């Protein structure tokens, strides 16, 4: 049965008066409106006992300061009445009454008072008129009497600005009898039990309808890290542009594929242990394509293909050293070599990409880690130029929603010309390097066996920095590592890099 409380009283009231407002019910019963609303929700759960249509009511009421104005007058009127006929020192007046600063300012505007600055002890405030009419008090009294009805909106806004009144918004419900109305209502059952089925009691019961649109309890599940979300978006963009993904499942790479095939000399600082992680066991790699290795050795030590090389003694032992790969360009080199070996039916242009982890012996700071993810794109076709590279980069980054790009000439051992790519970071308020790019050198491509009129443009960027730009993160250590805020991982939506 509906209880003997507010819900039962509402049913009794509706018996005689259809169409009651919950605000009126609350006033009639002398209780808080929320108690009435709670009772209405309870009755609605019983079925079609009542109907409730929401109504929004707005009115104006006095603030605490406004009630003081009704009792004592406006601040300017109180100040005016505090001034004796002979006047009073401004300092003494300002200390003697509340809200003196507001009252003084408004009284001066209305020319109710004036100041005599010739006094020996300081400025003296005197009455400028013999009588005043306190229109502010009258306006506030009218608003209090009629809840703002009949008062010009401009006047009400002025009173609101003075913090004398405030607008109140109240959501209430208009209640009417439902199709199943009764002052005595049976509570609906929510569970169908085995006992009801066995005894047949379920035939006499009324059950609460199931709400199939209600949301269930969210299942406990894992959450994708922002890096994985952005990685998926990058991958999708590459696929949309017609690129094929390269296999990148070998974190350990030989120095030959990581450096030598890219025309990086064996004395280059990047091959120093201050920049690269070397593997102790196994220390050396085996199983190289010997003919290709000889060509790489020759172009390094003696030159060839129109290049004078580096003119140094190239050592096989140095090329065999295993390292944690410093870039995924080593994977690109392997793929281009395989492409050169598959030219029996002629060269076929390709577009390749990879997204995977690389390792460098970096000093940790706000934008650098020793382990990060590199994104690389490679296009091999006939007679490609630097203009083609810049066009592809603009198209690629535009799909990421990054249009503020700058290019800076750079040096890479394996590309010529080379460019660094910068994007403006709104959080750091500066230009941040997001990638490197260039056209692969002939000294790298021709020893592989690729035709002379084939050009390869390539670019690489980290996954972390675009993610920082997308999610407004200033420090890379807040994205990866022990300082990461797990709540950020839970709350961030699926990445959408809008163009």
**With contact defined as beta carbons under 8 Å apart, do 250 and 356 qualify?**
no
Cβ neighbours for 30, distance < 8 A, ≥ 6 positions apart: none
Q: Alpha-carbon distance 2 to 294, whole Å?
A: 94
Q: Alpha-carbon distance 89 to 321, whole Å?
A: 92
Strand ordering across the sheet containing 405-412: 244-245, 350-359, 371-382, 454-462, 430-440, 415-425, 405-412
376: phi then psi, degrees, rounded to nearest 5: -135, 135
CA distances from 386 to 95, 104, 391, 435 (A): 77, 73, 9, 16
Provide the terminal-to-terminal Cα distance of the chain, rounded to the nearest Å: 60
- pTM exceeds 0.75, yes or no: no
The two three-digit tokens of residue 351, written as one number: 């577009």
Q: Alpha-carbon distance 173 to 219, whole Å?
A: 35
Q: Across the strands, what pairs with 126?
A: 114
Strand ordering across the sheet containing 50-62: 20-21, 165-177, 50-62
**With contact defined as beta carbons under 8 Å apart, do 321 and 258 qualify?**
no
List pLDDT tens digits, range 235-275.
999 999 999 999 988 899 999 999 999 999 988 888 887 78
The two three-digit tokens of residue 175, written as one number: 């209640």
C-beta atoms surrounding 489 within 10 Å: 17
**With contact defined as beta carbons under 8 Å apart, do 295 and 363 qualify?**
no
List pLDDT tens digits, range 52-67.
888 888 888 899 999 9
**With contact defined as beta carbons under 8 Å apart, do 255 and 271 qualify?**
yes
Residue in 469, 458, 473 with CA at minimum distance from that of residue 327: 458
Q: Alpha-carbon distance 230 to 471, whole Å?
A: 10
3-state per-residue secondary structure call for the chain: CCCCCHHHHHHHHHHHCCCEEHHHHHHHHCCCHHHHHHHHHHHHCCCCCEEEEEEEEEEEEECHHHHHHHHHCCHHHHHHHCCCCCCEEHHHHHHHCCCHHHHHHHHHHCCCEEEECCCCCCCEEEECCCCCCCHHHHHHHHHHHHCCCCCCHHHHHHHHHCCCEEEEEEEEEEEEECCCCCCCCCCCECCCCHHHHHHCHHHCCCECCCCCCCCCCCCCCCCCCHHHHHHHHHHHHHHHCCCEECCCCCCEEEHHHHCHHHCCCCCCHHHCCCCCCECCCCCECCCCCHHHHHHHHHHHHCCECCECCCCCCCCHHHHHEEEECCCCHHHHHHHHHHHHHCCCCCCCCEEEEEEEEEECCCCCECCECCEEEEEEEEEEEECCCHHHHHHHHHHHHHHCCCCCEEEEEEEECCEEEEEEEEEEECCCCEEEEEEEEEEECHHHHHHHCCCCCEEEEEEEEECHHHHHHHHCCCCHHHCCCCCCCHHHHHHCCCCCCCC
pLDDT per residue of the chain (499 residues) written in tens, 0 to 9:
334 478 888 888 888 888 888 988 888 888 988 899 888 888 887 778 888 888 888 888 899 999 999 999 999 999 999 999 889 999 899 988 888 999 999 999 999 999 888 878 888 999 999 899 999 999 999 888 888 788 888 988 999 999 999 988 888 898 988 887 888 766 777 888 999 899 998 888 877 777 788 888 877 777 788 888 888 888 999 999 999 999 988 899 999 999 999 999 988 888 887 788 899 989 999 989 999 999 999 999 998 888 898 898 999 999 999 999 988 999 999 999 998 888 777 788 999 999 998 898 877 666 667 788 899 999 999 989 898 998 998 888 888 777 788 899 998 888 989 999 888 877 678 888 878 899 999 999 999 988 888 999 999 888 887 787 777 777 777 777 777 777 777 776 555 555 4
**With contact defined as beta carbons under 8 Å apart, do 178 and 51 qualify?**
yes
The two three-digit tokens of residue 94, written as one number: 């300002």
Residue in 251, 246, 270, 252 with CA at minimum distance from that of residue 334: 246
Going by DSSP bridges, is the β-strand pair 124-127/20-21 parallel, antiparallel, or unpaired? unpaired
**With contact defined as beta carbons under 8 Å apart, do 389 and 407 qualify?**
no
**With contact defined as beta carbons under 8 Å apart, do 61 and 168 qualify?**
yes
C-beta atoms surrounding 439 within 10 Å: 22
């Amino acid at each position: 049965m509906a209880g003997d409380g507010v819900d039962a009283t509402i049913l009794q009231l509706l018996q005689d008066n259809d169409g009651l407002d919950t605000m009126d019910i609350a006033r009639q019963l002398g209780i808080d409106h929320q108690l009435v609303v709670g009772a209405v929700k309870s009755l609605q759960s019983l079925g079609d006992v009542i109907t409730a249509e929401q109504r929004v009511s707005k009115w104006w009421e006095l603030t605490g300061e406004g009630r003081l104005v009704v009792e004592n007058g406006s601040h300017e009127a109180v100040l005016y009445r505090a001034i004796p006929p002979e006047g009073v020192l401004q300092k003494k007046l300002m200390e003697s009454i509340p809200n003196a600063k507001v009252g003084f300012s408004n009284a001066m505007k209305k020319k109710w008072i004036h100041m005599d600055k010739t006094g020996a002890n300081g400025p003296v405030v005197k009455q400028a008129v013999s009588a005043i009419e306190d229109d502010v008090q009258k306006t506030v009294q009218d608003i209090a009497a009629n809840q703002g009805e009949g008062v010009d909106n401009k006047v009400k806004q002025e009173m609101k600005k003075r913090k004398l009144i405030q607008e109140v918004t109240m959501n209430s419900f208009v209640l009417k009898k439902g199709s199943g109305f009764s002052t005595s209502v049976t509570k609906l059952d929510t569970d169908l039990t085995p006992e009801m089925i066995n005894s047949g009691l379920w035939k006499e019961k009324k059950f609460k309808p199931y709400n199939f649109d209600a949301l269930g309890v969210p299942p406990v599940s894992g959450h994708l890290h922002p890096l994985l979300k952005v990685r998926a978006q990058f991958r999708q963009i590459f696929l949309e542009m017609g690129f094929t993904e390269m296999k990148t499942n070998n974190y350990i790479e030989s120095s030959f594929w990581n450096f030598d095939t890219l025309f990086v000399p064996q004395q280059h600082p990047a091959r120093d242990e201050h920049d690269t992680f070397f593997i102790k066991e196994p220390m050396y790699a085996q199983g190289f394509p010997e003919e290709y290795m000889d060509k790489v050795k020759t172009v390094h030590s003696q030159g060839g293909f129109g290049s004078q090389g580096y003119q140094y003694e190239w050592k096989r032992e140095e090329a065999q050293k295993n390292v944690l790969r410093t870039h995924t360009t080593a994977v690109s080199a392997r793929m281009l070599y395989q492409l050169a070996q598959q030219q029996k039916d002629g060269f076929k242009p390709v577009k390749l990409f990879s997204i995977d982890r690389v390792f460098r012996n970096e000093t940790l700071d706000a934008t650098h880690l020793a382990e990060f993810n590199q994104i690389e794109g490679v296009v091999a076709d006939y007679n490609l130029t630097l203009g083609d590279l810049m066009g592809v980069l603009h198209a690629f980054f535009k799909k990421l929603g990054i249009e503020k790009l700058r290019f800076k000439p750079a040096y890479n051992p394996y590309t010529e010309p080379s460019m660094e790519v910068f994007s403006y970071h709104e959080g750091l308020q500066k230009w941040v390097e997001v990638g490197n790019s260039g056209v692969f050198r002939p000294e790298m491509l021709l020893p592989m066996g690729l035709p002379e009129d084939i050009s390869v443009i390539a670019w690489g960027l980290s996954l972390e920095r675009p993610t920082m730009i997308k999610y407004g993160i200033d420090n890379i250590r807040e994205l990866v590592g022990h300082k990461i805020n797990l709540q950020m991982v839970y709350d961030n939506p699926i990445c959408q890099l809008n163009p």
